[in-house]
Amino acid sequence: MAKTINIQPVTRIEGHARISIQLDDQGRVADSKLHIMAMRGFEKFIEGRPAEEVPRIVSRICGICPWMHHTAANKAVDQCFGAQVPPAGRKLRELMQVMAHISDKILHFFFLAAPDFVMGAGADYKIRNVLGLAQAAPELAAQVVKMRQAGQMMLERFAGKVIHPVAMVPGGFAKPMSQKERDELLAGAGEQLEFAKFCMKYAKENVFAKLDQDALSLGRITTGFLGLVDPADGSLNLFDGALRLMKPDGSYLDFNCRQYADFLGERVETWSYGKFPYARVWGEGFSMDLEAPKGIYRSNTLARLNVCDRINTPLAQAELEEFRRRFGRPAQSTTLYHWARLIELVYACERVLEILEDETITDPLVRNPVEPRAGRGVGCVEAPRGSLIHDYVTGDDGCIASANMIVGTTHNLAPMNMSVRRAALDAIKGGQVSEEALNQVEMAVRCYDP
């Protein structure tokens, strides 16, 4: 008999979602959807707010990656007001944003995703989580918790507030870094890098080594990719750069973030509050058909590693080379998001050290005063979950006249729907529904870390 299965809520993800799977009379998967269940409307309710206040408001879009929204918003307001950020202000901003990537990746890999691999996809749900992991591998868990905490405290000690930060301001940064603070951060960052190396090694031995063909084809789809690259050399850049939109065949277009609306569009479906971005510029329209997708591209870690030409830090570059040798470019396997995430973890740690080693970071000039005025600004950064775009228009009073945003996770809404379909088709056969099968469908979603 035909029926609908509801996976609600989708768990161990950052947002709020539901999966519905329709089985037909023969028990075959006839349809499936990933529904986004809520919409808060930041684009609308920041209208009329003084633009310089907005970076402190939009951080609340996501409590896991508030630094990303904080950074993108500041960059957008800088442009609206025509502000010039002093060099040390810019360095502090990049430092904070890249540091925030570190704790985020540890959180996602170990707290959210790893239980599926370490405890097993079919383990009892009561232990298939970070607390179960803590019992099964107490030393590992203690180390992970300690290092994630250390990363958060490094941000907090310097910037005051780590969840929903306030230290970046239009025109720069609210406080300079003292030599003492720099020394402390350098020491902490060195430890974070050591831990990143350990994570990579641990994952390669215990998780990635076990990725067989089945695991690699979980939720497999073929799509294009989007990510920021450094315009100078096409290298990975989380903080700034040009957007690169790659087709499934590996060819790509680079464009200035301000032109994003010419390249990307957003679809609305009747069954999800989330909108579905697609590559408008490809001119093929939008379709989530597994066999013939149209306009579908992906964002987030795997996308960034696919679009970049290289990584300018040595350890991460070595990892990227190995990754490319094994999986090609662009790599399409959805499960590889996790691998790519750990390569980015190594990059983020190396990059943080690089920024801190620059002694001009302690320059006391960190902010130039700003003048409210009419303008438009598009702030773009790479958030852990994908390319983040904040586009603001201000009026003469420097208050927001209109705003548009595409947040990281949103880019992946169409691909996630496709991966869910793929995983459901593969895991549910002949009407046999097991907890493990349903968890596999969710694992396809978790790769994207939505």
Partner 1 sequence: MALRVAEEGLSSCSGCEVAILNLGERLLALAPQLDFVHMPLLMDHKYFGQLGDGDLKRLEIPQAELGLVSGGVRNQEHLEVLQAMRANCGTLVALGTCATHGGIPALINGLANAELMERYYRGCETNDPAPDPTETVPPFLERVYALDEKVKVDIYLPGCPPHPDHIAEAVLAFLEGREPALPHKSVCDACPTVRQGKGQLKSVRRFLQNAQYDPAKPIADMRCLLEQGLLCMGPVTRAGCSGADGEAPRCLKARVPCRGCYGPVRQNGNQMLDMLNALASNGIDIKTLPDRAGGLLRFSGAHGRLRPRPAAK
Least distance from partner 1 to the Cβ atom of residue 77, Å: 11
User: How many residues in the shown chain lie near ligand SF4 by CB under 6 A?
Assistant: 3
Contacted by 270, from ligand SF4, partner 1, none: CB < 5 to 8 Å by type: partner 1
> What is the 3-class SS of 3-70, one letter each residue?
EEEEECCCCCCCCCEEEEEEECCCCCEEEEEEEECCCCCHHHHCCCCEHHHHHHHHHHHCCCCHHHHH
Task: Find the helix or strand (DSSP H, E) in which 133 lies.
Answer: helix 130-136
| CB neighbours of residue 363 within 10 Å | 15
Q: Which residue has the tokens 């990892």?
A: 319
Among 33, 49, 161, 204, binds ligand SF4 (CB under 6 A): 161
User: Between helices 179-206 and 336-357, what is the axis angle to 10°?
Assistant: 160
- Asked if 33 touches partner 1 (CB under 8 A), the answer is yes
- Asked if 445 touches partner 1 (CB under 8 A), the answer is no
Among 60, 146, 326, 429, binds ligand SF4 (CB under 6 A): 60
Task: Find the helix or strand (DSSP H, E) in which 294 lies.
Answer: none
Of 9 and 63, the one with the shorter C-beta distance to ligand SF4 is 63
**Within positions 56 to 85, which residues make up the interface with partner 1, using CB under 8 A?**
56-57, 60-64, 66
Do 254 and 231 meet the contact criterion of CB atoms below 8 Å apart?
Answer: yes
Least distance from partner 1 to the Cβ atom of residue 264, Å: 6
* Omega within 30 of 0 (cis) for the link into 314: no
Residue 79 corresponds to which tokens in the numbers above?
A: 């442009």
- Asked if 125 touches partner 1 (CB under 8 A), the answer is yes
Contacted by 21, from ligand SF4, partner 1, none: CB < 5 to 8 Å by type: partner 1
Least distance from partner 1 to the Cβ atom of residue 62, Å: 6
Of 26 and 434, the one with the shorter C-beta distance to partner 1 is 434
* Phi, psi angle pair for 377, to nearest 5°: -140, 140
Q: Which residue has the tokens 């299965």?
A: 5
Contacted by 227, from ligand SF4, partner 1, none: CB < 5 to 8 Å by type: none
* Phi, psi angle pair for 139, to nearest 5°: -70, -45
- Asked if 157 touches ligand SF4 (CB under 6 A), the answer is no
Least distance from ligand SF4 to the Cβ atom of residue 63, Å: 4
- Asked if 136 touches partner 1 (CB under 8 A), the answer is no
- For residue 432, how many C-alpha atoms fall within 13 Å in the half-sphere facing its CB? 6
- Asked if 49 touches partner 1 (CB under 8 A), the answer is yes
Per-residue mark of binding to partner 1, 144-183 (x: CB under 8 A)? -xx-xx--x------xxxxxxxxx-xxx--xxx-x-----
Contacted by 440, from ligand SF4, partner 1, none: CB < 5 to 8 Å by type: none
Least distance from ligand SF4 to the Cβ atom of residue 40, Å: 10
* Omega within 30 of 0 (cis) for the link into 165: no
**Within positions 370 to 409, which residues make up the interface with partner 1, using CB under 8 A?**
370-372, 391, 397-399, 404, 406
Q: How far apart are CA 36 and CA 58, in angstroms?
A: 19
Of 53 and 230, the one with the shorter C-beta distance to ligand SF4 is 53
* Phi, psi angle pair for 241, to nearest 5°: 145, -155
Of 101 and 311, the one with the shorter C-beta distance to partner 1 is 101
- Name the residues that contact ligand SF4, by CB under 6 A: 60, 63, 161
